[in-house]
Amino acid sequence: MKFRLEDIPPEGREEDFKEEPGWMDERLSGEKNRNFEFSGPILIHVHLRRSGRLVTVRSRAEAPMRWICDRCLELFPYMVRSETTTIFKPRPNLPDPEERELSPEDMETDYYDGDELDLTELIRDQVLLAFPAKALCKTDCRGLCPRCGKNRNRERCDCQERGIDPRFAVLKDFRSF
């Protein structure tokens, strides 16, 4: 997803892309045991607007996926959706990068080199940042019984709930301020 600056008119440019699931593999190469898979193409829409050497990019990404529920281990469909706005500036020629605190504006700013803008990594990161922190098939998923392993969403088990571990019994009456 590369764009030459001269091809972005001041009134803006819109493009749609369709990437196959393998497009994310390079970014996910370190993930050995994935609890998800892409189930279809990743749909991307970008709107670019240029003002001089500054380029504002509004992007939207949607990716159909299948996840393994963190509680019951069942496979379930999940649509990842993300929208973001990023301002691209020419990379400054600083002799030595210095440590400094980032401002909120810096968090929405990225840099490009030369006369070309490459959005590939921005969009890949956008998709990854939209992944759920905890993948649940439903918000009230009951999970698996820790004793017999039955899926509590589908069947009841006759296992007795464990009482409080005697080592932690003193904490049951603990109150915080």
Q: Identify the CA nearest to 72 among candidates 15, 122, 146.
A: 146
Identify the band that residue 138 occupies on the pLDDT scale cut at 50, 70 and 90. very high
Answer with the residue of higher pLDDT: 177 or 109. Answer: 109
Q: Using CA atoms, how far apart are residues 57 and 9, in angstroms rounded to an integer?
A: 13
At residue 45, the pLDDT reads: 97
Residue extents of the structural domains in the chain: 2-142
State residue 143's pLDDT score.
Answer: 94
User: Does 10 score more than 60 pLDDT?
Assistant: yes
Which DSSP letter does residue 35 get? Answer: S
pTM summary value = 0.77
Is pLDDT at 129 greater than 70 in this prediction?
yes
